[in-house]
């Protein structure tokens, strides 16, 4: 019998126990032995179906020689960082869903894992249950990855879908997303684009092999989206989605950002709804490859955690190099990127200078799409016009 422990018995932690219990047969088939959860660290003991697993004492897990893999689902940085370090130093593999910790300290924790001859795996941290990090680093290993973009946050995609399709209010759908276990403990991270920002940083780290500092990545969420723009975009063949995007630039530089985009209805990404996420990876040999599935929720996320547990146990003697350097040099501002931009301005005419813009609608306000311009030029234009909305178009 192989024993594992869980740190934090919330939505994902509980899902891990459920997946291990529900899938004993297929898991045993892969490991040659049964797998079971021995201990779960909680802040406070409570009445719960899994009360028999609970401890409030981290040292019980740290010093338990029987526990070979620890699944960290506490979230945040402080306690999660300290416990992860201590588990790795105690010679235990660590698996996590915690994108904040991976985005901020992943490179360093991978190095610590390497030194201690164990694994640090985090497939659940991006795209929840969608396999994306393994395909990126393994199946697409023969490519130079030039771009990744995607819908990376289940909560905001769920909110946008329900608001647009069912006319639900923002507050009511956010509450529903929290009840379903999709949202972060502090949902500001979801709605302000910070969660998607952490995920695009992890994708960029792995794709480009260099640390991307989340503090350098502009992150815009969905709170500024006006349903009026959703309607205008819809009448002209576009949908509005929150995208994370990272690109390789000329000269070896890289950039990343999160922002709402207009997406043509012809692009399958425009039809990714509810809690579903989709990630497109553009490799120089494969062209665009798209990954699609549930980006949040108890069981999909737990599925990715347990798969990482199985991988750690299967590959105890084989640790492939992920290739993620702590060097942050070469990161460029996404304002240098050229795109067409959607604008809605509070005026009924456009100046001569904007004659090349494609006007979508004109009344007391004007909605138009610019030719391809840099983010800096779009900012200048926004300062010059009475701008009510401004968004990149996914070209």
Ligand X SMILES: N[C@@H](CC=O)C(=O)O
Ligand Y SMILES: NC(=O)C1=CN([C@@H]2O[C@H](COP(=O)(O)OP(=O)(O)OC[C@H]3O[C@@H](n4cnc5c(N)ncnc54)[C@H](OP(=O)(O)O)[C@@H]3O)[C@@H](O)[C@H]2O)C=CC1
- The residues annotated with a catalytic role in the active site are 199
Contact 155, 177 (CB under 8 A): yes
Q: Which of 182, 291, 341, 368 binds ligand X (CB under 6 A)?
A: 182
Residue choice 39, 73, 153, 156 for contact with ligand Y (CB under 6 A): 73
The answer to whether the CB of 34 falls within 8 A of the CB of 1 is: yes
Nearer to ligand X, 153 or 161 (CB): 153
Which residues have a Cβ under 8 Å from the Cβ of 265 and sit 6 or more positions away?
237, 238, 239, 271
On whether 99 is known to bind a ligand per the annotation, the reply is: yes
Shortest-Cβ-distance residue relative to ligand Y? 10
For 231, residues 6+ apart whose C-beta sits below 8 A from its C-beta are none
Residue 186 CB, nearest approach to ligand X (Å)? 10
The partner in contact with residue 123, picked from Na ion, ligand Y, ligand X, none with C-beta cut-offs of 5 to 8 angstroms by kind, is Na ion
Among 8, 75, 106, 127, binds Na ion (CB under 5 A): 127
The answer to whether 300 and 129 have CB atoms below 8 angstroms apart is yes
Q: Is 224 annotated as a binding residue?
A: no
| By the rule CB under 6 A, 210 interacts with ligand Y | no
Residue 229 as a binder of Na ion (CB under 5 A): the answer is no
Q: Is 373 in the site for ligand Y (CB under 6 A)?
A: no
Under the binding rule (CB under 6 A), the answer on residue 13 touching ligand X is: no
DSSP letter for each residue of 183-241? S-SSTHHHHTTHHHHHHHHHHHHHHHSB---GGGS-B--STT--HHHHHHHHHTTEEEE
Owner of token pair 């276990």: 181
Sign of the dihedral defined by the CA atoms of residues 344, 345, 350, 355, in that order? negative
Q: Is 72 in the site for ligand X (CB under 6 A)?
A: no
184 is in an annotated binding site: yes
**Binds ligand X (CB under 6 A): choice among 190, 192, 229, 308:** 190
CA distances from 43 to 7, 38, 79, 93, 373 (A): 10, 17, 11, 22, 51
Maximal CA-CA distance, the chain: 75
Instruction: Report the partner that residue 341 touches, choosing among ligand Y, Na ion, ligand X, none (CB closer than 5 to 8 A by kind).
Output: none
Min. distance of Cβ 271 from ligand X in angstroms?
Answer: 18
Find the part of the chain contacting ligand X (CB under 6 A) among 176-184, 308-316, 332-340, 356-364.
176-184
Q: Round to whole Å and give the CA distance between 246 and 164.
A: 27
375 is an annotated ligand-binding site residue = no
Quote the strand ranges of 57-192, DSSP E: 67-72, 93-96, 120-121, 145-151
Q: For strands 54-55 and 67-72, give the pairing.
A: unpaired
Tell me which stretch binds ligand Y (CB under 6 A): 37-45, 110-118, 143-151, 260-268: 37-45
Strands 276-283 and 120-121: unpaired
Task: Identify what 43 binds: Na ion, ligand X, ligand Y, none; CB under 5 to 8 Å per kind.
Answer: ligand Y
Q: Is 184 a binder of ligand X (CB under 6 A)? A: yes
For the annotated binding site for L-homoserine, the residues are 184
The residues that touch Na ion, with contacts defined as CB under 5 A, are: 123, 127, 130, 132, 304
The residues that touch ligand Y, with contacts defined as CB under 6 A, are: 8-13, 41-43, 73-75, 79, 97-99, 124, 128, 181-182, 184-185, 296-297, 301
């Amino acid at each position: 019998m192989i024993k594992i422990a869980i740190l934090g018995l919330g939505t994902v932690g509980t899902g891990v126990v459920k997946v291990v219990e529900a899938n004993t047969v297929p898991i045993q088939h892969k490991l040659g032995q049964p797998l079971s959860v021995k201990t779960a660290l909680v802040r406070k003991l409570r009445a719960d179906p899994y009360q028999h697993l609970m401890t409030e004492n981290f040292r019980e897990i740290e010093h338990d020689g029987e526990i070979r893999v620890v699944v960290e689902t506490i979230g945040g940085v402080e306690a999660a960082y300290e416990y992860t370090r201590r588990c790795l130093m105690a010679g235990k593999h660590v698996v996590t869903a915690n994108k904040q910790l991976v985005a901020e300290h992943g490179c360093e924790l991978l190095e610590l894992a390497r030194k201690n001859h164990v694994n640090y795996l985090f497939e659940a941290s991006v795209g929840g249950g969608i396999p994306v990090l393994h395909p990126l680093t393994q199946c697409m290993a023969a490519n130079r990855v030039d771009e990744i973009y995607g819908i990376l946050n289940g909560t905001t995609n769920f909110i946008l879908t329900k608001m647009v399709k069912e006319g639900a209010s923002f507050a009511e759908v956010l509450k529903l997303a929290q009840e379903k276990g999709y949202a972060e403990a502090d949902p500001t991270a979801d709605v302000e684009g910070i969660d998607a920002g952490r995920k695009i940083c992890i994708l960029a780290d792995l794709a480009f092999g260099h640390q991307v500092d989340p503090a350098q990545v502009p992150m815009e969420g969905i709170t500024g989206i006006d349903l009026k723009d959703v309607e205008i975009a819809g009448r002209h063949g576009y949908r509005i989605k929150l995208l994370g995007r990272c690109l390789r630039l000329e000269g070896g530089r890289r950039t990343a950002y999160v922002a709402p985009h207009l997406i043509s209805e012809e692009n399958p990404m425009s039809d990714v709804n509810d809690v579903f996420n989709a990630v497109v990876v553009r490799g120089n040999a494969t062209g665009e490859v798209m990954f699609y599935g549930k980006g949040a929720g108890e069981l999909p996320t737990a599925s990715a955690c347990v798969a990482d547990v199985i991988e750690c146990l299967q590959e105890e003697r084989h640790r492939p190099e992920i290739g993620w350097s702590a060097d942050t040099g070469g990161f460029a501002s996404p304002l240098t990127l050229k795109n067409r931009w959607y604008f809605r301005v509070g005026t009924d005419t456009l100046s001569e200078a904007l004659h090349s813009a494609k006007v979508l609608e004109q009344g007391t306000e004007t909605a138009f799409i610019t030719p391809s311009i840099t983010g800096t030029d779009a900012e200048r234009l926004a300062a010059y016009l009475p701008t009510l909305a401004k968004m990149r178009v996914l070209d």
